[in-house]
Structure 1
Amino acid sequence: MDQRQHSMDQRSELGTFLRARRARLQPEDVGLIDYGGRRRVPGLRREELAQLAGVSVGYYTRLEQGQSPNASDAVLDAIARVLRLTETERAHLHSLARNKPRVRRRSRPEQVRPGIRLMIDSMGDAPALVLGRSGDVLCWNRMAHALLAAHIDFDAPAHVGRRPNVARLVFLDPHTRELYSSWREKARDTVADLRMTAARYPDDPRFTELIGELTLRSPEFASLWAAHTVRPCVQYTRNFQHPLVGALTLTNELLDLPHDEGQRVAVFNAEPGSSSHAALHLLSDLSSASSVAQPETAVAD
């Protein structure tokens, strides 16, 4: 994709986000009187939002059309206040408004630092993995593989062309769909996190390829993507239905790696003494028995 097309995509993304957020609100939600009558569009009109934010209708229209790249923080914050954006959504608005088009070049494949890989391997019975900026699994320990994707080769993350991707697994892999007791919740969270992360890296073509593929292959993804929900995955508790050990309730912490841009560590844990804790130990025993001589991870392609 060339620079001109990228610029158009950014303008479209900003406008679509603002229109989606306007559609969520009715005049009475923001203290305006609704005198009835047919409204051509759902939610707030442009002129209503502009009035409440203290900007001209023309200025707001240009912003929604991506023609005001130098909008001040004060203006963006005023619009965020009127639209009742969350802190995450406000940051997303700033990110969309600030991103300048650049020539898009495919970056070098992401790699995990040796020290991080050793840390992941040392976590024993705690499933742990490293995710790249677009959700590729860059490495995982034996337990994360056994918990999340035992049907995939253990060494797949070491080969760039074969790396599992979280969003692809969630929407396109039947094993993953069956793994999550509340698949729809997992799907919503995955899309919300992906949309927010993609806005941080507008010049990374891997996001364009991933989103395009999922939009074409999964109507469920396309519907969720169109909702423009943004929310980071930081900590959550999920219920799993594992094919070998049954029901588990696990907490998952995602930690940013500050020296590895866009990479995150994900670690799963169960409450000590719980049935889920016992199930993790059983899974550890089963995975050890099935891979007594687990091959060493190969060097990435």
Structure 2
Amino acid sequence: MLVTMERKSELGEFLRTRRARLRPEAVGLPDYGGRRRVPGLRREELAQLAGVSAGYYTRLEQGQSPNASDAVLDAVSRVLQLDEAERAHLRSLARPQPKARRSRRPEHLDRSAQMLIDSFRDTPALVIGRSSDILTWNRPAHALIAGQLPFDAPTRSGQRPNVARLVFLDEHTRELYADWRGKAKDTVADLRLTAGRSPDDPELTALIRELTLKSAEFASLWAAHPVHPCVPHRTREFRHPLIGTITLHNELLELPHTEGQRVAVFMAEQGSASAAALQLLTDLCAGDVPTPSDDMLAPRGGNRTH
């Protein structure tokens, strides 16, 4: 019952945030000025534009219409000007699949995926699981993300580093991303999308509750209900404690037949200062250059890998 009530609340929150961001004039309704009791569109206005009764839309927003048709959901999506990811999220919230079909097995990393990551000898590469756990990474990726040596392989379930937890609860990670706010928003939006697809995943539910309790910034972003998958091509600036500021291109590839596992690879522009810095990091991992001083390697914000 708790899961069902939370699901209904998720649907209502999502629709209310999307109604709130639209002004009447943006959808062809007259704006008579003055203060409105609620920001954005009223339920009655949205229902009128979508071609359904106000009562029906209210029940939909309250999670009391589990059999809403494609036509109704498409009409609501059109009025709310939802993008493709948001439309899919609305469907997953409004019409969840039977529980038996949503059940998930424990996270497992295929040997072929491990071999793929191992093949990136001089390039940071890792595999991110469905709940944003780092299932494996190579030595350059560990040095890049954790910001420290020596290598620590995330092999034990329950003790693996988690991308979302690092972003919001780890001081080093906050300092690592030059645009931490942008990284945080992307992390929450991707986690929202995953949660919509996997509402009964206990690990994911526990992660969201932990971050909501421990991070006011996460709670605020989560309440805004952002929804979009991680961009497959992204350029980010890192402020690394060992090699300084570098700019890397991040490629994100979904692994087939894995229920959402993704490979992340980080590359620098050939011939750039960032490429030279990244090569230095690789050499440090291999022991080809002297290890930096203890001051450079001192942890900043606790255990970074678990």
Q: TM-score, normalised by structure 1?
A: 0.91
SS in 2 for 1:161: coil
Of the three residues 112, 115, 121, the one matched with 2:118 is 121
Aligned position for 1:163: 160
Aligned position for 1:112: 109
Q: Is the 8 A contact 1:95 1:200 kept in 2?
A: yes
| Residues 260-279 of structure 1: per-residue CA shift (max 9 Å, x gap) | 11111111111111111111
In the alignment, the residues of structure 2 paired with residue 151 and residue 139 of structure 1 have an alpha-carbon distance, to the nearest angstrom, of: 16
Q: 1:206 to 1:147 in 2, by over 3 A?
A: same
| Residues 126-172 of structure 1: per-residue CA shift (max 9 Å, x gap) | 11001110100000011100100144874452011210000000000
Aligned position for 2:253: 255
In the alignment, the residues of structure 1 paired with residue 243 and residue 163 of structure 2 have an alpha-carbon distance, to the nearest angstrom, of: 22
In the alignment, the residues of structure 2 paired with residue 94 and residue 81 of structure 1 have an alpha-carbon distance, to the nearest angstrom, of: 13
Aligned position for 1:29: 26
Q: Is the 8 A contact 2:126 2:263 kept in 1?
A: yes
Q: 1:148 to 1:38 in 2, by over 3 A?
A: same
Residue 142, structure 1, aligned to residue 136, structure 2? no
* Mapping of residues 281-296 of structure 1, within 5 Å: 281-289=279-287
In the alignment, the residues of structure 2 paired with residue 235 and residue 70 of structure 1 have an alpha-carbon distance, to the nearest angstrom, of: 37
Shift of 1:102: 2.8
Q: Is the 8 A contact 2:142 2:151 kept in 1?
A: yes
Q: Which runs of 4+ in 1 moved over 6 A?
A: 103-106
Aligned position for 1:296: none
In the alignment, the residues of structure 1 paired with residue 240 and residue 14 of structure 2 have an alpha-carbon distance, to the nearest angstrom, of: 37
In the alignment, the residues of structure 2 paired with residue 94 and residue 105 of structure 1 have an alpha-carbon distance, to the nearest angstrom, of: 15
Residue 202, structure 1, aligned to residue 203, structure 2? no
In the alignment, the residues of structure 2 paired with residue 236 and residue 210 of structure 1 have an alpha-carbon distance, to the nearest angstrom, of: 25
* Mapping of residues 222-261 of structure 1, within 5 Å: 222-233=219-230, 234-261=232-259
Aligned position for 1:270: 268
In the alignment, the residues of structure 2 paired with residue 73 and residue 65 of structure 1 have an alpha-carbon distance, to the nearest angstrom, of: 18
* Mapping of residues 24-63 of structure 1, within 5 Å: 24-63=21-60
Shift of 1:187: 0.5
Aligned position for 2:182: 185
Aligned position for 1:297: none
Unpaired stretches in structure 1, ≥5 consecutive residues: 293-301
Aligned position for 1:295: none
Residue 76, structure 1, aligned to residue 73, structure 2? yes
Unpaired stretches in structure 2, ≥5 consecutive residues: 291-306
Residue 66, structure 1, aligned to residue 47, structure 2? no
Equivalent residue letter for 1:224: L
Shift of 1:85: 1.0
Q: 1:282 to 1:153 in 2, by over 3 A?
A: closer
Q: Is the 8 A contact 2:168 2:211 kept in 1?
A: yes
Relative to structure 2, which stretch is displaced further, 263-272 or 103-112? 103-112
Equivalent residue letter for 2:269: E
Shift of 1:105: 9.9
Q: 1:107 to 1:210 in 2, by over 3 A?
A: same
Shift of 1:220: 0.4
SS in 2 for 1:158: coil
Q: Is the 8 A contact 1:104 1:203 kept in 2?
A: no
In the alignment, the residues of structure 1 paired with residue 142 and residue 181 of structure 2 have an alpha-carbon distance, to the nearest angstrom, of: 22
Relative to structure 2, which stretch is displaced further, 271-280 or 165-174? 271-280
Residue 98, structure 1, aligned to residue 95, structure 2? yes
Q: Is the 8 A contact 1:270 1:277 kept in 2?
A: yes
SS in 2 for 1:157: coil
Backbone CA RMSD of aligned residues: 2.0
Of the three residues 127, 149, 161, the one matched with 1:130 is 127
Q: Is the 8 A contact 1:6 1:101 kept in 2?
A: no
Q: 1:178 to 1:247 in 2, by over 3 A?
A: same
**Percent identity between the two aligned chains:** 69
Shift of 1:109: 3.1
Of the three residues 218, 221, 225, the one matched with 2:218 is 221
